[in-house]
Structures are given as C-alpha cells and as structure tokens.
C-alpha cells in the first residue's frame, strides 16, 4: 500500500468485503430500506431490561450473523474493530466481550463503521491479518439520553431534529476474495464550524464529510 495525495491510502492488493450483516429497529422496519436488513425488531428493548443492554444484544447478534454467513470460523478472525455512540463504547465492549478476538474500540460517531472498515482493510493489506471484523451500533433511546434529554423527561423534540438509528451493522474484511473490493481509504480531518444546535447534528458533521470527499477525489485524481 502507499499514501497518495494529502491523506489517502491506496491498496496494492485491495482487501474484499467477504460478508455483511445488519439488524434494524422498529422505526427502520417501516422505512424504505427495510428489505436490506437481515433482521428487524418490533421491540426497542428486544427482551432486555434497558436500552443499553438491548443495543449490546443488537451488535452481538449482528456480528454473529456476519460470521455465520461468511462460513469462516470465529477462531480464524485476527482482529475486531468496533464502536458505538455511548461512553467508553460500552455497547460494543459488553456485546462483543465473548467474541474472544483481539479488539480495538473505536469512536467516530457516524463515521465509526467506515473508520472500522478502513482500519480492517489496512490490517488485511499488511501481512498481519487474513480476516478482520468491523462493526458498529446505535440506539435511538440510549443516544437521546447521551446527547439530548432522557426520554423519561418527556421533552418535546423539534420535528426537524435528527433521529438516531436503532440498529447495528457488521462486515468481515478478507485479504482475499471476489469483491466488492476496498481500493482506497481516505481518513477525514476534524472540521469544526461551531455548530451548537444539538437537534441538528447533521450540520455539525457535514463540513468534515464534505472535506473528506473533496480530499478523496483530489488525491485519487477522479476530480482535478
């Protein structure tokens, strides 16, 4: 692999996405992407006593589905990259503690999954890994408690405020495979425009996303 441009890593032997899995919550079940989920829930708690425990269960079962679909033994997975929105990434940490795979806890908010895929690809491009797992989760109810107001307070939310997904996604990255391939990875930079509206997190994240896209296209010369 090599660095091209200002911040992009180009893979000589692109790793492949071997298998994926995703689980969504009740709201996702009623959305336009419902058919793309492996499983949809009709209960925010999914049989657990708290939303945090439910989120841990969601990411655990999502990862198990990805491994099962891949036909790869769990013992063959070299590393795991995972994170969520909660303090100390507790959903990922508790959900995947029985996985028994070397674990990297990562946090990138809405970029966590792509960050995990990029890091997994870096490890698989190198001699140190044949398979690397990446995963992330979020839960509307636990995220509201973390970033806005606990739902128990009954605060009225603006109709235009973002709604955090209840669900999880996982992908198993392989050194070899038939594709789709991860050909390049462009880590983003922190871009802080001073957005202070907690109901408009999209406005806070959009500048960094745009900056990363511009850097990627410039570095790969798709856009001059």
The pLDDT tens digits of the residues spanning 26-48 come to: 999 999 999 999 999 999 999 99
Q: Give a yes or no: residue 72 inside a domain.
A: yes
pLDDT (0 to 100) of residue 155: 84
Q: Give a yes or no: residue 163 inside a domain.
A: yes
pLDDT (0 to 100) of residue 222: 63
Q: What is the mean predicted confidence (pLDDT) over 162-189?
A: 95
For the chain, the domain total comes to 1
Q: Give a yes or no: residue 211 inside a domain.
A: no
Domain around 171: 12-183
**pTM for this one?**
0.91
The pLDDT tens digits of the residues spanning 75-125 come to: 999 999 999 999 999 999 999 999 999 999 999 988 999 999 999 999 999
Cβ contact 95:55 at 8 Å: yes
Q: Give a yes or no: residue 67 inside a domain.
A: yes
| pLDDT above 70 for 196 | yes
Q: Give a yes or no: residue 198 inside a domain.
A: no
Residue 134: which CATH number?
Answer: 3.40.47.40
Average pLDDT over all residues of the chain: 93
Q: Give a yes or no: residue 209 inside a domain.
A: no
Tell me the two tokens of residue 182. 């991860």
Q: Give a yes or no: residue 38 inside a domain.
A: yes
Classify strands 2-4 and 8-10 as parallel, antiparallel or unpaired. antiparallel
Q: Give a yes or no: residue 58 inside a domain.
A: yes
With 0-12 / 13-18 / 19 or more C-beta atoms within 10 angstroms meaning exposed / middle / buried, residue 95 is buried
Cβ contact 112:169 at 8 Å: no
């Amino acid at each position: 692999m090599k660095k091209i441009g200002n911040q992009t890593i180009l893979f000589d032997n692109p790793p492949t996405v071997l298998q994926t899995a995703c689980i969504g919550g009740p709201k996702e079940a009623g959305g336009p992407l419902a058919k793309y989920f492996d499983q949809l829930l009709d209960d925010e708690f999914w049989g657990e006593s708290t939303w945090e425990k439910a989120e841990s269960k969601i990411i655990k079962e999502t990862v198990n589905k990805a491994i099962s679909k891949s036909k790869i033994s769990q013992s063959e997975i070299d590393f795991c990259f995972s994170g969520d929105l909660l303090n100390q990434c507790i959903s990922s940490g508790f959900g995947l503690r029985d996985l028994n795979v070397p674990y990297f806890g990562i946090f990138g908010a809405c970029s966590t999954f792509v960050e995990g895929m990029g890091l997994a690809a870096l490890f698989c491009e190198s001699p140190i890994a044949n398979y690397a797992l990446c995963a992330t989760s979020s839960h509307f109810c636990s995220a509201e408690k973390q970033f806005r107001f606990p739902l128990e307070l009954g605060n009225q939310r603006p109709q235009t405020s973002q709604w955090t997904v209840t669900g999880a996604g996982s992908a198993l990255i392989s050194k070899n495979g038939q594709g789709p391939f991860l050909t390049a990875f462009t880590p983003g930079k922190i871009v802080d425009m001073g957005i202070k509206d907690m109901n408009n997190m999209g406005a806070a994240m959009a500048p960094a996303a745009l900056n990363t896209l511009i850097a990627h296209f410039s570095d790969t010369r798709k856009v001059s």
